[in-house]
Amino acid sequence: MKIPTLPFTTTDWSAITPTIHPGDTGHATWRTLNIGDLRVRMVEYSPGYLADHWCDRGHVLLVLEGVLDTELKDGRRFTLTPGMSYQVSDFGDAAHRSSTQTGAKLFIVD
């Protein structure tokens, strides 16, 4: 990830139109700010959400609310609570998918 040249910018996330992304179960609500190749998102997963795909994209993800379960394709599992983050590369063998029983609110940069 390379942050492109841009002026100092503030974001009122409540003013960004949400988009709904269905999972295998539940849904994700994204509020997205795209700046060149950089994508910054505020994401909310509904209770019972399970991603409908394995993701190979690199992210920096911070849990703001709720509990997030992340499974790697190799079988490893991680549970993140508010204040915890994960960082994963675009490269390597860390394909991952998210789920939550209770719902979660995340801040993601990729």
Residue whose token pair is 């609570």: 81
| Residue 27, domain extent | 19-109
Note the pLDDT of residue 46: 98
Domain count, the chain: 1
**What's the pLDDT tens digit per position in 14-51?**
999 999 999 999 999 999 999 888 899 999 999 999 99
Instruction: Return the CATH number at 59.
Output: 2.60.120.10
Could you tell me which residue, 22 or 4, shows the higher pLDDT?
A: 22
Note the pLDDT of residue 76: 94
Rounded distance between C-alpha atoms, residue 110 and residue 101, angstroms: 24
Rounded distance between C-alpha atoms, residue 80 and residue 65, angstroms: 10
In a domain, 14, yes or no: no
In a domain, 39, yes or no: yes
Q: Is the pTM above the cut of 0.85?
A: yes
In a domain, 3, yes or no: no
